[in-house]
Amino acid sequence: MLIKTNYIRMKYYLFSPKLKMWYIESYKEKNKNIKKIDHSYAVYPKRFYKNIDYNLQKSYDFCFIGSLYIDKQTFLNRKWILPFIKNHFNKNSYLQFTDKKTKNIFKKELGVFDYTHKKEGLVPKEVSIDNRNFFDKEYFDNLTKSKFCLCPGGDKKYSMRFYECLMCKCIPIVENKEETYRSKDESKLGYKYYLSNSKEFIYKPEWAEYNYKLFLKYHTLEYVLK
């Protein structure tokens, strides 16, 4: 049942170390009581969404930056991206596997779009908790320059990448709806995204703006939009 499933999801997902830090930072920015944090929606502090450069051109079509083989559950949730990359990524795409294990497995580039061995990226599980609370400018610039980003789950069914796409006006691509939310409340927001088996992928600016407004309204504490 949906209600029972979402209760389990919330109970299990509330205390992701990185997200917990962002809740506390966001509440302190607004002088809100951190003992009364509402976990209904994932929330980002100002230093993330205030530092996105929206003047960047959409120079990439498809994008994925993240880990793959870092642990068994993450791979099971993300394995669908491999055939997608093979079928859709091209010279105008951007791929960067960031974790050490995946880098060791993929010794050769998967294509001209593969920056895995040319770039370094933040892998939260490979650093201490204190060092995870980091604004990775290159990562967010690449999301902002992309029309679409693959947003598979991680060690949980969802990943923070989905919200970061909304923030960067990049349209998410997921395998199924469960990858688009972490709570019952988020499941009702009606984000705009594509499923990985869609017949075509058309970048729609109105979708990007719609998602961005949802992000500001529900995933920050600063705005109350009409």
Name 127's Cβ contacts closer than 8 Å, sequence gap at least 6: none
Say which residue, 128 or 201, is predicted with more confidence: 201
- Range scoring the smallest mean pLDDT among 35-39, 92-96, 215-219: 35-39
> 207 pLDDT band (50/70/90 cuts)?
very high
Residue 9 has pLDDT above 50, yes or no: no
Q: Give the CA distances from residue 6 to residues 12, 78, 179, in Å, rounded to whole numbers and listed in that order.
A: 10, 21, 13
Following DSSP, what letter does each residue of 177-211 receive, concatenated?
GGGG-SSTTGGGS----EETT-S-----HHHHHHH
Amino acid letter at 54?
Answer: Y
- End-to-end alpha carbon distance in the chain: 32
Residue 3 has pLDDT above 90, yes or no: no
d(C-alpha 42, C-alpha 20), whole Å = 9
Percent of the chain with pLDDT over 90: 78
Tell me whether strands 171-174 and 146-150 are parallel, antiparallel or unpaired. parallel
Name 199's Cβ contacts closer than 8 Å, sequence gap at least 6: none
Tell me whether strands 171-174 and 194-195 are parallel, antiparallel or unpaired. parallel
Query: Would you state the pLDDT for residue 155?
Result: 87
Dihedral pair phi/psi, residue 173, rounded to 5°: -120, 125
d(C-alpha 175, C-alpha 99), whole Å = 22
Query: Would you state the pLDDT for residue 7?
Result: 42
Integer Rg of the chain from CA? 17
Q: Which two tokens stand for residue 43?
A: 């929330």
Element (H, E) at 61: strand 60-66
Query: Would you state the pLDDT for residue 6?
Result: 47
Mean pLDDT of 7-29: 73
User: pLDDT tens digits for 99-152?
Assistant: 999 999 999 999 999 999 998 766 665 556 666 677 899 999 999 999 999 999
Residue 15 has pLDDT above 50, yes or no: yes
Query: Would you state the pLDDT for residue 201?
Result: 98
> 222 pLDDT band (50/70/90 cuts)?
confident
Question: Cα 116 to chain center, whole Å?
Answer: 18
Name 141's Cβ contacts closer than 8 Å, sequence gap at least 6: 53, 56
Mean pLDDT over all residues of the chain?
89
Show the domains of the chain with their CATH numbers. 53-217 (3.40.50)
Quick one: DSSP state of residue 57? -
Contact 175, 195 (CB under 8 A): yes
User: pLDDT tens digits for 148-172?
Assistant: 999 999 989 999 999 999 999 999 9
> 4 pLDDT band (50/70/90 cuts)?
very low
